[in-house]
Amino acid sequence: HAVRGEVTVNGQLLGAGDAAKLTGEQAVHLSGAKGAEVLVFDLPQ
């Protein structure tokens, strides 16, 4: 969840208030998050 600013998650741009659900990914790549606040939840399936 992008709380503030913008961040790219696995190639998808998220803006403030946006969220992404990732399933079956081997890795998560965050970029462009300078000055952004991001929440990451790792939930069991």
Specify the pLDDT at position 6.
96
The structure tokens 């803006």 sit at: 15
Secondary structure tally for the chain: helices H, strands E: 0, 5
Domain spans, the chain:
2-38
Instruction: State the pTM of this model.
Output: 0.82
pLDDT at 45: 77
Q: Which residues of the chain have pLDDT under 70?
A: none
Return the pLDDT at 12. 96
Say what the pLDDT of residue 33 is.
Answer: 84
For the beta carbon of residue 5, count every other beta carbon within 10 angstroms: 15
